[in-house]
Structure 1
Amino acid sequence: MTDTLDPLSRRKVVWLTLSMTASVGLPPTLVGTGDLFQLLRDGRPRTRGELSSLSSLARSTITARVDALLSCGLLEPVGEAASTGGRPPTRFALNRHGRVVLAIDLGASHATVAVSDLSGAVLVQRTIDCDIADGPVVVLDCVAEIGRALLAEIDRSRADVAGVGIGVPGPVEHATGRPANPPIMPGWHDVDIPARLNQHFDGPVLVDNDVNLMALGEFVTSWQSSQHLLLVKVATGIGAGIVSDGRLLRGALGSAGDLGHVQVAGAPADVVCRCGNIGCLEAVAAGPAIAAKLRRGGLDVEGSQGIVDAVAAGEIAALQAVREAGRDLGTVLATCVNLLNPSVIVIGGKLSEAGEYLLAGVREVVYQRSLPLATHDLRIVSTSAGTQGGIIGASAMVIDAVLAPGAVDEFVAQRTA
C-alpha cells in the first residue's frame, strides 16, 4: 500500500513524527484523535494493536478513536494482518480519496488549477492564459469556475473540498491571505482572497506567494533530506522561497525572498526597474531584460520562452546573455549563501529551461564569492518539480493544515456531533 502512494504522503514532518513516536511512544494525555491520526498519515497500514503500542493508549481508547476516524472518512480498512491466533486483526490507513484539495497557481500571464487527493496526487488539472492585471474579481471568478468544472469532471462536489491553496505572484500576508502592495498585481492590494473563494468552495482558503509554494513543492517532492533549501524562480520576475529547518520563512509581512529588487553591483546606471529603483537584479537578469538586450543586438526574441527557444537553437548571443544573467544572479545569491547557509539552491521558472547555461553562470560566481564553509556541501541544481512545483506546494500547504491534529479533532467533532 505504501508504495502506491504519492511521495507527498510521506513528507518529512510525518517521518519525524513517526520516528519519534515509534521510539519513545506518546503519553496518553498528549494523544487525541488528531494526534493518533498522525501515525497513519504516511500511508502505512497499521492495526489497532500497533497503534496502541505506538501511542501507549489503551486498546478501548484506540478502538473508539479509530472508529471515529473511520466514520468521518479519514481512515479506511486495508486488509488484515497475519493472525497470531484467532481472528486476523484489521489494518487501517489514510483514506486519501476521502476528500480533495483545490490547488491554484497564478502567474503574471497564466493560471493553473488542479484537484488533488489527500496524499497530494493530482487527479485533474487545467492551465489557461490569464492576465493577473485583469484584477481580482475577473481572475478569481475565472479560476473558481475552472475549479467547479474540474470537480464535476471527477464526480466530486463542493462539500468534498477539504481546502483551497492558492499562490499569487506577489507578497502576501499569509495569516490573512491578503496581498501586500504586489508590484505586478494592480488592484490586488489588501484584497480578501479567502472571502472571495469561500463564496464558491468550502474549507479553509490558504494564500501564499507563488515562489514560496514552488519552494515547498520542491522540498516535499525531492529534498526531504535537506532541511535548508533556497528556491529561485527566474522568469518575468525573480523571487525566492526560503525553507529553513524544514519550514517556510515568510518574513514579517510576507516579503521574504524578494531577490528581484536587490541591487546588482556594477549594473548600468541607466537600468531602471519597474519598482523605480536603479540596477535591480530583475531589471538586468529577468526574462524581459534579457530579451530586450538580445533585440538590441539584432536577435528577434520575445519573452522568456523566446529566450529558451533561442538557447535551444544554439544562438550564440542567447547563450552568452543567459550565462551573463546567471552571473548577475550568482552575485546576489553569493550573499544569500553566506547569510542563510542553504544546503541546496534550486533554480526554477521558465528560464531554468535554458539548461546548464544559466546554472553555470550562477555556480561560477557563488562558489567563487561565498565562504568556503557555506559552499562545502552546497548543491546548485535545476528544478525537478518543474511547472508543477506551485501546484504541489499549494496542495501540500492545505493538506498539512487540514490534517494537523487540531484540525482533525475539530473535523471529527463536527461530523460526530
Structure 2
Amino acid sequence: MEFLRGRHWQMPPAVSSGQLETRRRNLRAALQLVVENDGRMTRAEIARRSGLTSATVSSLLSELIQNGYVRDGRLAASTGGKPATTLNIDRKRHSILVIVLRPLLLHGAILDLAGDMVVDVVEHLTTRVTPETVAGFAARLMDESNHEVLGVGLQIPGTTNHGRVIESVQLGWHEEPITDLVQAAVGAPCIAINDADAEALAESVSSPDAGRSCLFVHLGEGIGAAIVHDGKLMLGPTGRVGEIGHVRVVYEGSRNVCRCGLTGCLESTSSLSAMLGPAFRDEADLDEIRALAATTDANERLSDGARALARAIRLICATLDIGDVIIGGAAPALGDTFITDITDDLETYPAHGTQAITVRYAQSKNPFQGIGQHALRELLGIRWAAPTVGEDSPTFRETASRETA
C-alpha cells in the first residue's frame, strides 16, 4: 500500500518515525472498518470502536476521503440529534489488477476497492505463456482501467518467493523475476502468489465453517498445498510450504514416471493430468473435466490417485495436528466419489493418536477472490472480508493507537 505505507502521504519533517507509523496504522484501521461496513459506519462509531478522539478520527477520515479511498454516503438514522453521515468505499478512484496464469491462458480482471469486478479479460494463447507475455497482458489490462491502479496481483502455478517464480513445472519457468517485469510494464507495484495459497485464502473468506487450521490441496496439471492457521498462510523461510507434488508416495508395483524425471511422485499419480489422462489441461472447463472423469479408463486412475493423496494427507495432518482438509483447483468437478475414496482410505488406515480428518471440496467460486485478497493486503494492508476470531487482522481497537498522531 503506497499511500498508507508512505509514498503518497508524507508527514512534516518534524514528525518522528514513531508518529508516522502510528498515523499509518490508524489510517489502515479506519479504512478496514469502512471496508467491512460499507455504507453502515459513521465517524462517531469509529471513534467508539477505537477509543480515539473524535478529532483524530475526523482527521483520519478527511485524509482517506481526500486521497480517494473513502467517500461520504447517506445520512444515518437519527438518534435524536442531527443525523450522522455514513461512510462508503470510494469505488471510482482506485483499482487493482489481478491476473491468473495458466500455461495456455491468461485470465485478468480489474477490481475496484470494494472487490467488485470492473473489467474481465480472457486471452487464450497458442504457445506456452512467457514472463514477457504476462507483462504485455498486464500493460493492456492497465489500458482498460479508468482508475488509478494501486498495483498488480499475479496468481501463478508454481513456487514463488519475493516476486520471483522459483520453479513452475507447468509453465516451464525457473528463477523468473516476473514481478519486476510486470512492474516495469505497468509502472505500479506487482506481487505474486501461487495457486494453492491464493485458493486457500479465498476459501478462508468464503467458508465460515473452515477450521482454525486447515490443509488446502490444489489439484490441476500439478499439485500444490497450503497450510492456513488462524487466518495466516504458513510460508516458511523460503516461501516453499506446500510443495508436495514431487514427494514420493508410491513405492510398490509399477510407478508412474513424473514429468520431473523421477517415479512415484504424488503428482505422477494424483494430479488431474495423471488421473484424467493427457487430454486434461488447466484451461479445461468443468464440463470437459466431468466428461474425462466419466470415462472407463479414468476410474482406476482416480482410485489410485485418491489412495496416494490420502497417504500425503495423513502424514501432513499427523505432523501438523490438522483435522480439516479442503481439495480445490479443478478437483470439485470429479464429484463425490473421489472425496469418498480419500475418506475411506483415511478411515481404513487411521494414524492412531491423531485427530479425525474431514475432507471436502472448496466452495469458493470466484477465480479472483484469493489473489484479490492477497493483493489488497500487500498493497493497502487491509482485506475485504471482515476478520474473524483468531485471524491475523486484529480488531480496530487492537490495531489503532491511542496516540493522536
Q: Scaled by the length of structure 1, what TM-score is found?
A: 0.77
Q: Would you say 1:59 and 2:54 are equivalent positions?
A: yes
Q: 2:307 aligned to 327, 342, 355, which one?
A: 327
Give deviations 1:45-65, integer Å, cap 9, x for gaps. 222222222222222222222
Note if contact 2:170-2:221 (Cα within 8 Å) is conserved in structure 1: no
Note if contact 2:276-2:302 (Cα within 8 Å) is conserved in structure 1: no
- Counterpart AA for 1:360: T
Note if contact 1:194-1:207 (Cα within 8 Å) is conserved in structure 2: yes
* Structure 1 residues 344 and 120: alpha-carbon distance in aligned structure 2, compared to 1, 3 A threshold: farther
* Structure 1 residues 233 and 33: alpha-carbon distance in aligned structure 2, compared to 1, 3 A threshold: closer
Q: Would you say 1:37 and 2:37 are equivalent positions?
A: no
Cα distance, 1:363 vs. partner? 1.2
Q: Find the aligned partners of 1:183 and 1:318 in 2 and give their Cα distance.
A: 23
What secondary structure does 1:331 align onto?
helix
Note if contact 1:107-1:132 (Cα within 8 Å) is conserved in structure 2: no
Q: Would you say 1:280 and 2:299 are equivalent positions?
A: no
- Give the % identical residues: 25
Note if contact 1:367-1:375 (Cα within 8 Å) is conserved in structure 2: no
What are the equivalent positions in structure 2 for 1:68-87 lying under 5 Å apart?
68-87=63-82
Correspondence for 2:395: none
Q: Would you say 1:142 and 2:137 are equivalent positions?
A: yes
Q: Find the aligned partners of 1:228 and 1:339 in 2 and give their Cα distance.
A: 13
Q: Find the aligned partners of 1:261 and 1:229 in 2 and give their Cα distance.
A: 21
What secondary structure does 1:128 align onto?
strand
Could you tell which deviates more after superposition, 266-275 or 45-54?
266-275
What secondary structure does 2:259 align onto?
coil
Could you tell which deviates more after superposition, 29-38 or 188-197?
29-38
- Counterpart AA for 2:213: H
Cα distance, 1:256 vs. partner? 1.4
Cα distance, 1:347 vs. partner? 1.3
Q: Would you say 1:360 and 2:336 are equivalent positions?
A: no
Q: Find the aligned partners of 1:171 and 1:29 in 2 and give their Cα distance.
A: 35
Q: Would you say 1:237 and 2:217 are equivalent positions?
A: no
Structure 1 unaligned blocks of 5 or more:
1-27, 293-300, 406-417
Q: Find the aligned partners of 1:397 and 1:350 in 2 and give their Cα distance.
A: 21
Correspondence for 1:397: 374
Note if contact 2:343-2:358 (Cα within 8 Å) is conserved in structure 1: no
Correspondence for 1:206: 191
Aligned-residue Cα RMSD (Å) equals 2.7
Note if contact 2:310-2:346 (Cα within 8 Å) is conserved in structure 1: yes
What secondary structure does 1:226 align onto?
coil
Richer in helix (by share): 1
Q: Find the aligned partners of 1:349 and 1:84 in 2 and give their Cα distance.
A: 49
Q: Find the aligned partners of 1:89 and 1:288 in 2 and give their Cα distance.
A: 58
Q: Find the aligned partners of 1:63 and 1:238 in 2 and give their Cα distance.
A: 49
What secondary structure does 2:88 align onto?
strand
Q: Would you say 1:111 and 2:129 are equivalent positions?
A: no
* Structure 1 residues 277 and 317: alpha-carbon distance in aligned structure 2, compared to 1, 3 A threshold: closer
Structure 2 unaligned blocks of 5 or more:
1-21, 383-405
What secondary structure does 1:68 align onto?
helix
What secondary structure does 2:185 align onto?
coil
Note if contact 1:308-1:351 (Cα within 8 Å) is conserved in structure 2: no
Q: Find the aligned partners of 2:33 and 2:272 in 1 and give their Cα distance.
A: 45
Q: Find the aligned partners of 2:36 and 2:184 in 1 and give their Cα distance.
A: 33
Q: Would you say 1:303 and 2:264 are equivalent positions?
A: no
Could you tell which deviates more after superposition, 114-123 or 264-273?
264-273
* Structure 1 residues 286 and 368: alpha-carbon distance in aligned structure 2, compared to 1, 3 A threshold: same
Correspondence for 1:169: 157
Cα distance, 1:257 vs. partner? 0.7
Q: Find the aligned partners of 1:361 and 1:219 in 2 and give their Cα distance.
A: 25
- Counterpart AA for 1:148: M
* Structure 1 residues 43 and 372: alpha-carbon distance in aligned structure 2, compared to 1, 3 A threshold: farther
Note if contact 1:229-1:342 (Cα within 8 Å) is conserved in structure 2: yes
Correspondence for 1:379: 358
Q: Find the aligned partners of 1:364 and 1:150 in 2 and give their Cα distance.
A: 49
What are the equivalent positions in structure 2 for 1:187-202 lying under 5 Å apart?
188-202=173-187
Cα distance, 1:41 vs. partner? 2.6
* Structure 1 residues 30 and 171: alpha-carbon distance in aligned structure 2, compared to 1, 3 A threshold: closer
Note if contact 2:151-2:189 (Cα within 8 Å) is conserved in structure 1: yes
- Counterpart AA for 1:326: A
Q: Find the aligned partners of 2:348 and 2:139 in 1 and give their Cα distance.
A: 47
Note if contact 1:106-1:210 (Cα within 8 Å) is conserved in structure 2: no
Give deviations 1:197-246, integer Å, cap 9, x for gaps. 12333442111112211111122122475332222122211111221221
- Higher RCO (CA 8 Å, separation ≥ 6 residues): 2
Note if contact 1:132-1:185 (Cα within 8 Å) is conserved in structure 2: no
Q: 2:167 aligned to 160, 171, 181, which one?
A: 181
* Structure 1 residues 393 and 267: alpha-carbon distance in aligned structure 2, compared to 1, 3 A threshold: farther
* Structure 1 residues 392 and 322: alpha-carbon distance in aligned structure 2, compared to 1, 3 A threshold: same
Note if contact 2:134-2:182 (Cα within 8 Å) is conserved in structure 1: no
Q: Find the aligned partners of 2:372 and 2:64 in 1 and give their Cα distance.
A: 22
* Structure 1 residues 133 and 34: alpha-carbon distance in aligned structure 2, compared to 1, 3 A threshold: same
Note if contact 2:152-2:375 (Cα within 8 Å) is conserved in structure 1: yes
- Counterpart AA for 1:265: V
Correspondence for 2:87: 92
Note if contact 1:324-1:361 (Cα within 8 Å) is conserved in structure 2: no
Q: Scaled by the length of structure 2, what TM-score is found?
A: 0.79
Cα distance, 1:93 vs. partner? 3.2
What secondary structure does 1:199 align onto?
helix
* Structure 1 residues 233 and 335: alpha-carbon distance in aligned structure 2, compared to 1, 3 A threshold: same
Correspondence for 2:121: 126
Q: Find the aligned partners of 2:179 and 2:81 in 1 and give their Cα distance.
A: 52
Q: Would you say 1:221 and 2:206 are equivalent positions?
A: yes
Give deviations 1:332-372, integer Å, cap 9, x for gaps. 11111112233422212234311112212211222333446
Cα distance, 1:87 vs. partner? 2.3
- Counterpart AA for 1:262: V
Q: Find the aligned partners of 1:225 and 1:322 in 2 and give their Cα distance.
A: 26
Q: Would you say 1:256 and 2:233 are equivalent positions?
A: no
What secondary structure does 1:290 align onto?
helix
Cα distance, 1:279 vs. partner? 0.7
